[in-house]
Amino acid sequence: MAVAIQLHEAGIALMRQNLRRRFAEASEAEIDLKLQHWLTRQDDPIPGDVAGPVRIRKSTP
Asked whether residue 51 is domain-assigned, the answer is no
pLDDT in tens, 7-54: 999 999 999 999 999 999 999 999 999 999 888 875 655 666 666 666
**61 found inside a domain:** no
Report the C-alpha gap between 40 and 53 in whole angstroms.
21
The residue among 15 and 56 whose pLDDT is bigger is: 15
pTM of the model: 0.65
- Owning domain of residue 11: 7-40
**Is residue 56 in some structural domain?**
no
pLDDT digits (tens, 9 = 90+) for 38-48: 888 756 556 66
For residue 35, CA distances in Å to 1, 2, 15, 38 come to 23, 22, 7, 5
In a domain, 31, yes or no: yes
